Amino acid sequence: MTAVPKGVVAVDDRLGDLGEILMAEGYQVVDLAGDLNQVDAVITSGLSQNTMGIQTTSTKAPILNGAGRSPAEILAELQRRLKGR
């Protein structure tokens, strides 16, 4: 029997081992370059943020900035943002 993931999360590959940590916690991790309409949350490295201040996204999923944060901090925010979805 296959376990149901806690959620589908797009993760910027510049965040190192975060994807592996999230998978170990039960999340399905996909590439940030994929279809963001199919994810429950997006975690960026901060480098992928728009520097012009124009907020155009192709997803309604919450976007978390992982820059300068520990995996534990990111995981806690992810859990908080996905709670009750």
Contacts (Cβ under 8 Å, ≥6 apart) of 26: 3, 5, 6
| pLDDT at 33 (0 to 100) | 82
Q: Where do the H-state alpha helices sit in the chain?
A: 18-24, 71-82
CA 49 – CA 67 distance, rounded (Å): 11
pTM: 0.81
* Structural domain spans, the chain: 8-47+58-82
Mean pLDDT in consecutive groups of 10 residues from the start of the chain, 85 residues: 80 92 95 88 76 55 92 95 81
| pLDDT at 54 (0 to 100) | 42
